[in-house]
Amino acid sequence: MSDCNTCVVRNRAICASLTADEIQLLGQLGRKQRVAPGQSLIWEGDESLVVANVIDGVFKLTVSNVQGKEQIVGIVFPSDFIGRPFGEHSPYSVTALTEGEVCMFTRQSFDNFARQHPELEHKLLHRTLDELDNARKWMQLLGQMNAEQKLANFLLVMSNRLAGQSCAIADPSEGYTLPFGRQQIADLLGLTIETVSRQFTKMRGKGIIELPNRRDICIRDRAALEILAA
Amino acid sequence: MSDCNTCVVRNRAICASLTADEIQLLGQLGRKQRVAPGQSLIWEGDESLVVANVIDGVFKLTVSNVQGKEQIVGIVFPSDFIGRPFGEHSPYSVTALTEGEVCMFTRQSFDNFARQHPELEHKLLHRTLDELDNARKWMQLLGQMNAEQKLANFLLVMSNRLAGQSCAIADPSEGYTLPFGRQQIADLLGLTIETVSRQFTKMRGKGIIELPNRRDICIRDRAALEILAA
DNA sequence: CGCGTCCTTGACACATATCAAGCCAAGTGG
DNA sequence: CCACTTGGCTTGATATGTGTCAAGGACGCG
C-alpha cells in the first residue's frame, strides 16, 4: 500500500480525479517501487500484467523488429501513466532510462477499480487522447522530415519537458540534461547513431547549441533552432 | 435525429455500449450526413466542433507541414469514431476518400452525453487505446523500414481491413480495391509517389501481386509478401 | 477524338546508411 | 599517480536507397 497523501504526483497523475476516500482505496491496491536505469517493467508481446503511475524518472516505450533494431515509440515522464489497461498483451516494452520510482498496480485490480470509478476512466481517456495526438505528431516527424529537422524538433520537445535543469555553461533556462544516449536518440528519430552525431556537430558548428558533455544540451539560439525544425 | 435501430453499425460502433433508451437519446443529438470523396469534415488546427461515427466509407486523417507536404496519420473505416472529443482543437484533418455516410454530433453535445454515460466513455477509451497501439506500430514502420517493407506491410494491413472484396482476376479472397491513389499511399508510408510505383512494379515482376487496374490489388503469394514485410 | 489526370519509367543527385578507425572521459588496478 | 581498459561518441570514406526532375504512357471522360 502506498501513502498517496504525500505523493509528489498526487495532483498531476490520473489520481487527481479521485476523492480522498477513493484514493485511499486505490492506494491499497498499489505499491511503490524503485527502479534502476535499464530495468524493464513490461516486455513487448508479453501478457499485460501490471500498470503504473510514474512518480519519478524517465522511461521509454519500445518495439523491436526481428533483427533486434529498436524503435522508441514513446517517452514517459513523472505523473504519466504506464502500461496497457483493458488489453491482454502489451504491444511495447517499458524500460527505465534513469533512476526512478513508480506506483504499480496489477492490471486486473486497476481495471476493476477503473470500471467502478468513471472519473478515473475519464481522466485516463483524456490522457490517452493526448498521447494519441502526440504519437501522430511524431509520425509526421518520422515520415517526412530530414535528419536536421528531426533533431531540431527533438531538442525543442525535450526542452519543453526538461527545461530549467542545470546546464554547465549558458543561460540555465535554455539548458537541460538528456536522459538519452546517442543510440537512443537515433532509435527515437529513426536514424543511425552516426547521423545523429554528425547533426549535433553541425549545429554546434553553427553556434545554435552547445554540448558541454555527452548528456547536456544548451540551446544558444532558439530562434535558429525553430527555423531548422520547420 | 437518426434512426439508430436500422443503423448498419449499431452493434459495432461505440453505440453498442448503450441500452435502447440511451441510444434513443443519443440519436436525437446526431444527424446522418452523406459525404463525397475529397470532402473534409474537420480541418487541422481548427476548433474541434464536431465528432462522428462512420457508417460507411473510408476516411483519412492528415497533418501537413508548412510546405504543404501531407502525412496521413490514420485511416478510418465504417464503425470507427472520428474527431477529437474533450479537446479545443483538432490536430489533424479528416477527409473522405470514398463516398460515405457519417452520424455527426456537435462535440459539445457528445462530450456532455459521454460524461453522463460511463459505458460509452469506457468503449471510447477502449478504442482510443487500440488506436494508440496502431499508431505506435505505424511509427515502427515509418522509423525503420525500407520502401519494400513499408509497401508489403501496407498491402497486408489493407488486406485485413478490405478482404473479400472484388478482385478482377484471381482468388477473390486475396483481392481488394484500394481506397487510395498512389500519392496517398506515398503520404501514408512516408515515401514519394515514384518510389511507391517502382515497388509495385517490382512486386508484380516477382509474381507476388497482380495489378489489374489502378486501384485493385490481388495478392498471388501471401507468404512471399509476409517475408518482404518482416 | 482529344484532353486531363494519374501512373510509370528513366537518368541523375543527394542524404543517409554502412563500414572502419580513432578519440575522449571515466573507471580500474598496479 | 600513471598505464590500461572500456564504452560511448566522433569523424572519415564509401555505398546505396530514395528523392528529384523530366518524359512518356495509360486510362477515363467530355
Q: Is 90 exceeded by the pLDDT of residue B1?
A: no
pLDDT, average across residues B25-37? 95
Q: Do A63 and B189 count as a contact with CB atoms less than 8 A apart?
A: no
Residues of B in contact with A74 (CB under 8 A): 136
Write the residue in B124, B135, B144 that is nearest to A136 by C-beta.
Answer: B135
pLDDT at residue number B3: 82
Considering only residues B144 and B3, tell me which one the structure prediction assigns the higher pLDDT.
B144
CA distance A47 to A88: 6
Residue A173: the pLDDT is 64
* H-run or E-run covering B143: helix B118-144
The answer to whether residue A121 scores a pLDDT higher than 60 is yes
Residue of chain B with shortest Cα separation from A147: B143
Section A34-54 average pLDDT: 96
Q: Contact A193/A186 with Cβ under 8 angstroms? A: yes
CATH topology of domain B4-141: Jelly Rolls (2.60.120)
List of chain A residues whose C-beta atoms are within 8 Å of the C-beta of residue B139: 63, 71, 73, 135, 138-139, 142
How do residues B65-114 score in pLDDT, each as one tens digit? 999 899 999 999 999 999 999 999 999 999 999 999 999 999 999 999 99
- Helix (H), strand (E), coil (C) string for B47-100: ECCEEEEEEECCEEEEEECCCCCEEEEEEECCCCEECCCCCCECCCEEEECCCE
Closest by Cβ to B66, choosing from A126, A128, A230 = A230
**Does the pLDDT of residue A15 top 70, yes or no?**
yes
Task: Say if residues A225 and A208 touch (Cβ distance below 8 Å).
Answer: yes
pLDDT at residue number A187: 98
Class of domain B145-229: mainly alpha
Q: Which of B128, B131, B139 sits opposite A73 (nearest CB)?
A: B139
What ranges in chain A are assigned the alpha helix state H?
20-29, 107-116, 118-144, 147-162, 182-189, 193-205, 222-229
Are the C-beta atoms of A73 and A189 separated by less than 8 Å? no
Q: What is the pLDDT of residue B171?
A: 61
Tens digits of residue pLDDT in B181-220: 999 999 999 999 999 999 999 999 999 999 999 999 999 9
**DSSP-based three-state secondary structure for B20:** helix
Mean pLDDT, chain A, as a whole number?
94
Across A50-54, A164-168, B20-24, least confident range = A164-168
Q: How far A91 CA lies from chain B's nearest CA (Å)?
A: 7
Mean per-residue pLDDT over chain B, rounded: 94
pLDDT of residue B18: 95
Q: Which residues from the 141-200 window of protein chain A have CB within 7 angstroms of nucleic acid chain C?
A: 146-148, 190-192, 194-195
Mean per-residue pLDDT, B147-162: 96
End-to-end Cα distance, chain B: 47
Distance CA B21, CA A137 (A): 39
DSSP summary character for residue A67: T
Q: What is the DSSP secondary-structure string of A5-39? A: GG-TTTTTSGGGGS-HHHHHHHHHH-EEEEE-TT-
Q: Are A46 and A90 in contact (CB under 8 A)?
A: yes
The overall longest dimension of chain A from CA atoms, in Å, is 57
Other CB atoms closer than 10 Å to residue A122's CB: what's the count? 21
Give residue A22's pLDDT.
94
Q: Where are the domains of chain A?
A: 4-141, 145-229
Query: Residue B109 phi/psi, 5° resolution?
Result: -65, -35
* pLDDT band of B57, cuts 50, 70, 90: very high
Q: What is the pLDDT of residue A166?
A: 54
Indicate whether A219 pLDDT > 60.
yes
Q: Do A137 and B91 touch (CB under 8 A)?
A: yes
pLDDT band at B166 (very low <50, low <70, confident <90, very high): low
What is the per-residue pLDDT across A98-113, written as a single tens digit (0 to 9) for each? 999 999 999 999 999 9
pLDDT value, residue B141: 98
